Amino acid sequence: MFCSTSTDIFTAKIVYFLAASDSFIGALPEELKLTVLAAAIVCAYVLGRRANSRTVEIVDQSRRDLRRAQAVARDLEKVSMLIKKQLSKHQVRVNKFKQRVTELSMSEHENAWRELCREAEDMLRPTMQLASQISSAYDEIRQQSGHLMTFTDVRTDPLTGLANRRALDETLNSQFAMKQRYDSSFSIAMFDLDNFKQINDEHGHLHGDQILKEFTRILDDCARETDTVARYGGEEFIVVMPQTCLNGAAIFAERIRARIEEKMTVTISGGVTSIVEGDTPETILTRADETLYEAKSAGRNSIFKNDGKQSSYVKPESYCDESKPVAI
């Protein structure tokens, strides 16, 4: 079929309008009437294709958002069920403890107090465990809340649909809180499209926007549901990967580089680093940016990683078919 249903409808409306306008059509020379109608059909087809292309982009973004939302819902449900189960068990222990306290309080036996102390000690241990589990659940809910926040307009980049700088800052703060509480690690990868200014200058900003959208679709599809993919600014993007070591993140970044080189007409460079002792959100971002600059200086279309002390080149041999980050 030459064009889609929506295009056909739009074309029909234009043709009907021209055909119904006797004063317009009648005033034209006979040889121009078909030309005008043909031009109307071509315009309708182009506009319809453009509208359909935008619709496909919206559908693709909605599908990615749906997958992320489903992952968040699953994680929150797991947390809820775990806490519910532990609270139910703890309630049984509390009831037994209350019963024993009542029994011992009515006893005049000299060992009653010692027995009460032992019962209290037995009760304290699971209570402390439950407190720790609730604390972990709170941190998990806080992290998932951060993912939920990326669905709101104020935390979404309007062009790409990815998390924006505000959402990225909140994600990093959450990861640093997890590091402080549980000593958990995470890594970040910063990507930049090579020679993007030249693309804009030669082909225009609309073409540049399409390049950015195509790149972000590939990047977002390759990331895990637990990762945060954000537009850092301009043509720079960041992926925050929880529970991922430096080598695992570097392999992921190299796979992305290779896939972009294979699927697109542009190339990318990347800098990868992991959290180290004494880091802040500002220092880890600065280190990733400096590592990215090293990749640019080395000739672009490459990935470098930094362990907090020195940078090194990530060899293309690290690439394999699977593109998800490699966790610790």
∠ at Cα 66 (268, 156), nearest 5°?
55
Alpha-carbon separation of residue 274 from 70, 128, 168, 184 (angstroms) = 27, 32, 16, 11
Is the Cβ–Cβ distance between 271 and 236 less than 8 Å? no
pLDDT at 294 over 90: yes
Residue bearing tokens 């809340």: 145
Express each pLDDT in 59-110 by its tens digit: 565 566 666 666 666 766 776 777 777 777 777 777 777 777 777 677 666 6
Q: How confident is the model at residue 5 (pLDDT cuts 50, 70, 90)?
A: very low
Of 30, 108, 119, 235, catalytic = 235
Output the pLDDT for position 1.
39
Question: Which among 153, 154, 291, 160 is positioned nearest to 235, based on CA atoms?
Answer: 160
Clarify whether 294 is annotated catalytic.
no
Report H helices in the chain.
Answer: 5-20, 22-26, 30-105, 112-149, 165-182, 196-203, 205-222, 246-263, 281-297
How confident is the model over 48-57, as a mean pLDDT?
A: 51
Q: How confident is the model at residue 264 (pLDDT cuts 50, 70, 90)?
A: very high
Query: Which domains can be identified in the chain, with CATH numbers?
Result: 5-54 (no CATH), 156-318 (3.30.70.270)
Output the pLDDT for position 182.
84
Express each pLDDT in 174-183 by its tens digit: 899 889 888 8
pTM: 0.61
Output the pLDDT for position 100.
73
Express each pLDDT in 275-287 by its tens digit: 999 999 999 999 9
